[in-house]
Structure 1
C-alpha cells in the first residue's frame, strides 16, 4: 500500500517553529517521502532517536527525524460531538449562540471546541430537542369511576406523573385543574367511567384531558359571592395557559394546558 500526498497538505502543516511531534498510534504525513502516510509505531526517546513509521495495513517501515520537521498531521475523521456545558454563550450583537462541545475523533482523542449557531439555527435546534423530549415521555392515561372520590385519585395521579417528568413545579395548578375537571364530570354527566390523560407537551408544559359520555359543552359560570360551588371552570380558566372542549363520538373531552 503506497501513501499519497493530499493536494492541500500545506493547510495541515503546523505553524513555523512548531514542529509536529506525533504520539504513538498517530497518523503522520512525511514530506521527505513525497507525502507518504504512516502510523507512528515508535517515538524518539531512550531507545530511539527518530520516529518509526509504518504504512497502514502492515506495509513498509521507515524513519523520520526526531525533530518532527518533515512530519505533518493527517486529519482524523470526527466520529461524534458531545455537549461540554448546557449553558449557551449568547452574542446578542452578532445574533449568535455558542455551545461548548467536545469533538471526538476516530483515533480516540478529543478536543474542546465551540459550536456557533445563528439565532434561527439555535431556535430550530431548540424546537427539535423539545419535540424529542416530549416524544420520549408517552402520555399517561387512566379510567376512574364517576364518584366523588375520583377527584382525589386524579390529584394523586398528576402529582406522581409530574414528579416523574421533573415537572413538580407545575403540581399545584395542575392538581387544581384536574380536580375541577373531574369534579365537573362527576357532577354534570352520566355514565359510570371518567377517562383521564396527561401528555407532556415540551420541557415546561403538559396537557390534561378529562373525557366523559356527555355531549353538553361546559361553560364557566359566575356564582353569587356566598355560593360554595360553581367556580370550577373559572378556576381552570385562571390557572390554565389554554383550555377547551372537543367533541367525541361518545361524549366530549375537556382539556387544559399548564405551563411554567
Structure 2
C-alpha cells in the first residue's frame, strides 16, 4: 500500500473506564497507521498509546479518549481523561528497571520528540489531554 502521509488526518476513539480499552486502543492505532503507510511507527506508537490510555483508565473514574493525528509530517498521539490534575512528572527511564508503576510518562518522554499536557473539557467533563509527537524518521 502506498504511503499517504502528505494529507492531514485525525481519529478519536472514545473509551470507557475499562482496562480492555488498552488493547483496543493498540489495535485501532495499528490499523490506522497501517492504512496510512506508517507501519514503521507502529511499535513505538503502540507503546506510547498503551501508557497514555493505561494512565487514563487506571488513575481516573471517568471515560477516556485516544486521539491520533497526522499533520505536516508529525504524528501526534494523545489521551484525554477525566482527571484535571497534571500527570506525574517523568522519572529517569534508567532508574525504572523492574518497576511496575511510575514509568508511563518516562517512556513517553523517552520515545517522543516532545510531549506535554493541558487542561481540557470534553462533553462537559473537565479533564486533561496528555500528548506527544513522534519522530517520523
Normalised TM-score (structure 2): 0.83
- Distance in 1 separating the partners of 2:98 and 2:26: 26
Please point out which of 95, 108, 124 is paired with 1:236: 108
- Structure 1 equivalent of residue 133 of structure 2: 257
Could you say which residue in structure 1 is the equivalent of 2:71?
201
Shift of 1:227: 2.7
Tell me the CA shift for residue 224 of structure 1.
5.9
CA contact 2:19–2:57 (8 Å) conserved in 1:
yes
Higher strand share: 1
- Matching of residue 164 in structure 1 with residue 35 in structure 2: yes
| Partner residue of 2:7 out of 134, 138, 146 | 134
2:80 match: 211
Q: For 2:78 and 2:68, how far apart are their aligned partners in 1?
A: 6
Q: SS where residue 159 of structure 1 aligns?
A: helix
Q: Which has the larger radius of gyration?
A: 1
* Runs of 5+ consecutive residues of structure 1 not aligned to the other structure: 1-129
- Determine helix, strand or coil for the equivalent of 2:68: strand
Backbone CA RMSD of aligned residues: 1.8
Q: Is the 8 A contact 2:96 2:103 kept in 1?
A: no
Structure 1 Cα separation of the partners of residues 33 and 96 of structure 2: 34
Shift of 1:202: 3.0
Q: SS at the partner of 1:139?
A: strand
Partner of 2:21: 150
Q: How many residues align?
A: 125
Question: Runs of 4+ in structure 1 displaced over 6 angstroms?
Answer: none
State the alpha-carbon separation in 2 of the partners of residues 195 and 210 from structure 1.
5
Aligned to 2:99: 227
Q: Which has a greater percent of helix?
A: 2
